[in-house]
Amino acid sequence: MATIVKIKRADEYIAIELDTGESLKIPSAVDGMYRLSVGRIIDATEYAQIKEESERHRCKSMALDYLAIAPRSAAEMERYLRKKGFDHGHIRGIVTRLAESGYIDDADYAARYISNRLSRKFVGRNLLFNDLQKKGVPRNIIKKALKESEAIHSNFDELYKTAVKKYASLKNKKNGISKLDYFLQSRGFDSDLVASVIHRIRSEEKNNSDDDIFIE
């Protein structure tokens, strides 16, 4: 058993101090369930219930603080809360409620991630897919988000401009075309798209070479 020695009521929570030295916070919404008052003795059963409420409240508070920094996928949130030591039941309950409230939305997260990533650097579908998989976004959601943004990350003209710019520093080096191919593949572009771009660069290089011979 434990005795309540101090209570502080705020808008969203109630802070309780026990004579054992332990401090607990529970949501204000459950205040009426426990008839809390200074000097009241809490038996083992009620203590366990209040402790459970406190853990759920702490789990939700840490989840919201984590979301305040940046959007998160459901899997990212679960990993974060596991590292903080919360049990599986609390984590699943909080993540489910956050998803139902719209605080966590993997589809929106994937779309925003792709848009933000491409605004910083032009990269390909495969790299975006791998990045989102690492963040725990389900495959079907990733595929849909990539399909909806296909006109951007699989744009031939944009990839061609990127390739030409890179090839300017490679064409006088040994195996320049092979190095260009590796560079584009490492950026996550589809192999067929890369092959088409390289074919165009080869053709233009050959035509330029033929023109030089004709002029001579």
Tens-place pLDDT, residues 83-126: 999 999 999 999 999 999 999 999 999 999 999 999 998 999 99
Residues written for the chain: 216
Query: CA triplet 98, 76, 185: central angle to 5 degrees?
Result: 135
Domain locations in the chain as residue ranges? 2-100, 105-154, 156-216
Q: Which of 27-31, 73-77, 130-134, 173-177 has the lowest mean pLDDT?
A: 27-31
Tokens of 209: 């070479």
125 within 8 A of 193, measured Cβ to Cβ: no
Contact criterion met (CB below 8 Å) for 187 and 196: no
Q: In this structure, which topology does domain 105-154 adopt according to CATH?
A: Arc Repressor Mutant, subunit A (1.10.10)
Looking at this protein, which amino acid is placed at residue 105? D
For the entire predicted model, the pTM comes to 0.80
* Highest mean pLDDT, choosing among 35-39, 109-113, 201-205: 109-113
Tell me the fold of 2-100.
Arc Repressor Mutant, subunit A (1.10.10)
Query: One fold for both 2-100 and 105-154?
Result: yes
What counts of helices (H) and strands (E) characterise the chain? 11, 4
State both tokens at 59.
């789990």
